[in-house]
Structures are given as structure tokens and as C-alpha cells.
């Protein structure tokens, strides 16, 4: 699942939540405005009915509250209220968008219609003050369909799988692990096949030589067989060890290539996370490779906004494959990708070997 798909799904879901709030709120604003216009005319003649007029004007405003409830429910289920970006597929985003449509459309239309009914009820109040409760009943009839729209939206959202949050580095690591594991299986199988061929060939030679040495004595033949088996097993172990070492080298080299091949958006986000750790005080000059200046400038901007810092994007480049160099006074921090991978190689070599080549 690509990053574009994740971003698109979350954006469509947020668009649905926004429409639920905006359209229902706009309808309520229009409905209360219609009722308010009728109410001001009546109040000019009889200010004593202000309480009843205010109640009739407020009724069309409930759809705006319904839209706000539906919008908050949608954002909560997508995980946005935790301050994180929702990990939604395109299908999930469309489902949330569709779930918001009932209250967005039904709420907006019913609010305007209810405003017109409320205006008519105000006219009824002007002519027959004792029958104003009948106008209330007419307004509530329109309100019923707004409630149905809200109920439909909430029921639709209930059965949509909640969005999850996944860090960009974890996704990259997952893809690297999958690729490394597949390649490791292939190399191990090849190494084992070569080792079996070596053992089989050696055993064939042993059988032949045993026949030739039978005449010289069973003891001498047994000793020679033992030496040949030991040599064959050592050779097989050396082949497997060489294959494992090659696989580990390829895993770390592959990790460096994957990091260097990040898109500008992924590159900026990744470097921004590194900068937050390398410069928690938000100070220093940052140097990027020549082909990543645009993404580097974006990364510096992201960190300055997050930390309220004063990091400076240097127009000068550095001869590194990826990452950045941070200079703060006389201190220079090397956060290039090749340096990070080299340090990780020395620290995590044992863990990587255990993952790629488990015992048993």
C-alpha cells in the first residue's frame, strides 16, 4: 500500500467530516436567519413575545450541532483527535466520506426548510398568539428528518474499521525486513544445496577410496574416512558462513539504497525526525547533499515549526549520499545516511543475524 493511497484515504475522510460540519452549519445559519428576519418584524410591534420568537429562531440551529457531532465522531474514529495522521486506505476514506453525507446534505436542507417553517410559525404567533405551540409542532416535524440523517451517519461510521497510525520509518523497515528475509531464504537454500553437493561428492570419494584401502587394513581406512568427513563438514560450514556474511552485507547495503531512494516528501519527513533528535534546542546550520536541497529546506522548516527553533538551511552542499550534517558552533554532527547505517551495522549486527538466520 503506497504513501499516496494512505494520504488520499485520510484526506477524503477529513473532507467528509468537514462537509458534515460546514453544510449542516451553513443550513442552520440560513434557517435561523430566515426565522430571525420574520421575528424582528413581529418584535417591532410586540416586544413582549421575545421569548417565544427566540425559541422558534433557535430551533433551525440544531442541525449545525448535529453536523458538529457527526464531524467529531468521524475525526475520532479516524484517530485525528490524538494529533496524529490517520492511516486510512482509499476504501476507508471513501466510506467515511459517504457516512458524513446524510447529515451534511439532510441536515443542511432540513435546516433551511425548518427556518421557513419557523418564520411561518412567527407569523402565526403574530395573528394568533394562543396557537404558537402548533407552530412548534410543525418545526419539530422537520427536525425529525434531521435526527434521522444524524442517526444514519452515526450508524454508517460505527461499522467502518478505525484508522491506525504508522510511523514512516516502521513502514520502510517492514519493507526492508520482508525483502531481506526473502533474499536470505534464497541464499541459504543455495548455500545448503552447495554444501550437500560437496558432502555427497566427498562421500562418493570416500566410498571409492575405502574400497581401494580395504587391503591395507580396516584401521587405516577408518582413519582416512574420518579425516575426509571432517574436511567436508568444515568446507560446508565455511560456505554457509560466507553466504550469511554476504547476506548481512546486502541487507545493510539495501537499507542504505532504500533510504537514498526515498521520495522528497518521505526524505523531508525522515530528516525532520532526525533533526529533532540531533538539535533539540533548534539551533545550528544544516547541510544537505546537492540533489536533496529542496527536501532539505522543507525538513528544516518542519523542525523550526515543531520546535519553534532557529535552524538555518545552508545553501552549501556536502559530498554525502543522503541525510544531513548539522553544525552548531565548533561542533559538527554527522547524520548522513551512510554514517547512520555504518553505526547501526556495528550495533545491530548480532540482532540482524538472529533475525535473518534463526537457530533451529
Q: pLDDT tens for residues 136-175?
A: 888 888 888 888 888 888 888 887 876 544 444 445 555 6
- 100 grid coordinates: 458524513
Cα 20 from Cα 96, distance rounded (Å): 11
pLDDT at position 236: 65
* Secondary structure element (H or E) that encloses residue 125, with its range: helix 107-127
CA distances from 264 to 138, 297, 317 (A): 58, 11, 16
pTM over 0.75: no
* Secondary structure element (H or E) that encloses residue 314, with its range: strand 312-317
Q: pLDDT tens for residues 290-316?
A: 777 787 788 888 888 887 878 888 778
Q: pLDDT tens for residues 236-252?
A: 677 766 766 677 677 77
pLDDT at position 189: 82
pLDDT at position 165: 42
Cα 233 from Cα 192, distance rounded (Å): 12
* pLDDT cut 70: percent of the chain above it: 83
Please report where in the chains the cell 526492508 appears, as a residue.
176
Give CA angle at 246 (241, 247), nearest 5°.
Answer: 95
Decide if pLDDT at 360 tops 60: no
| Alpha-carbon torsion, ordered 101, 102, 103, 109, to 10 deg | 100
> Is the distance from CB of 229 to CB of 202 less than 8 angstroms?
yes
Cα 92 from Cα 160, distance rounded (Å): 7
What letters, b where the CB count within 10 A reaches 16 and e where it falls short, cover 253-275?
A: eebbeebbebeeebbbbbbbbbb
- 351 grid coordinates: 540482532
Q: pLDDT tens for residues 190-228?
A: 878 887 887 788 788 878 877 777 767 667 767 777 787
Amino acid at each position: 500500500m503506497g504513501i499516496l493511497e494512505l494520504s488520499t484515504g485520510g484526506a477524503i475522510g477529513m473532507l467528509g467530516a468537514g462537509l458534515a460540519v460546514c453544510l449542516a452549519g451553513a443550513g442552520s445559519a440560513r434557517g435561523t436567519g430566515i426565522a430571525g428576519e420574520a421575528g424582528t418584524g413581529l418584535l417591532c410591534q410586540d416586544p413582549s413575545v421575545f421569548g417565544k420568537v427566540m425559541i422558534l429562531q433557535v430551533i433551525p440551529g440544531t442541525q449545525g450541532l448535529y453536523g458538529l457531532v457527526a464531524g467529531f465522531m468521524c475525526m475520532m474514529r479516524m484517530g485525528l483527535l490524538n494529533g496524529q495522521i490517520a492511516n486510512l486506505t482509499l476504501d476507508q476514506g471513501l466510506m467515511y466520506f459517504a457516512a458524513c453525507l446524510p447529515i451534511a446534505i439532510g441536515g443542511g436542507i432540513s435546516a433551511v426548510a425548518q427556518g421557513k417553517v419557523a418564520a411561518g410559525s412567527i407569523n402565526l404567533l403574530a395573528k394568533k398568539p394562543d396557537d404558537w405551540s402548533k407552530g412548534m409542532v410543525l418545526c419539530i416535524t422537520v427536525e425529525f428528518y434531521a435526527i434521522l440523517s444524524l442517526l444514519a451517519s452515526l450508524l454508517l461510521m460505527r461499522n467502518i474499521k478505525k484508522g491506525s497510525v504508522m510511523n514512516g520509518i516502521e513502514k520502510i523497515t517492514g519493507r526492508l525486513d520482508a525483502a531481506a528475509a526473502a533474499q536470505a531464504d534464497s541464499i541459504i537454500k543455495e548455500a545448503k544445496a552447495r554444501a550437500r553437493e560437496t558432502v555427497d561428492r566427498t562421500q562418493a570419494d570416500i566410498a571409492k577410496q575405502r574400497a581401494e584401502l580395504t587391503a591395507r587394513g580396516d584401521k587405516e581406512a577408518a582413519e582416512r574416512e574420518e579425516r575426509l568427513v571432517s574436511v567436508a563438514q568444515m568446507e560446508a560450514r565455511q560456505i554457509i558462513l560466507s553466504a550469511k556474511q554476504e547476506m548481512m552485507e546486502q541487507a545493510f547495503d539495501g537499507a542504505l539504497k532504500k533510504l537514498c531512494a526515498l521520495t522528497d516528501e518521505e526524505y523531508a519527513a525522515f530528516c525532520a525526525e532526525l533533526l529533532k533528535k540531533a538539535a533539540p534546542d533548534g539551533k545550528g546550520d544544516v547541510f544537505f547533499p546537492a540533489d536533496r536541497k529542496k527536501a532539505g529546506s522543507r525538513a528544516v522548516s518542519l523542525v523550526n515549526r515543531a520546535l519553534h527553533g532557529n535552524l538555518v538551511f545552508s545553501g552549501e552542499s556536502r559530498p554525502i549520499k543522503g541525510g544531513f550534517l548539522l553544525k552548531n558552533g565548533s561542533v559538527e554532527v554527522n547524520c548522513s545516511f551512510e554514517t547512520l547505517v555504518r553505526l547501526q551495522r556495528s550495533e545491530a549486527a548480532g540482532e540482524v543475524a538472529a533475525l535473518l538466520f534463526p537457530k533451529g
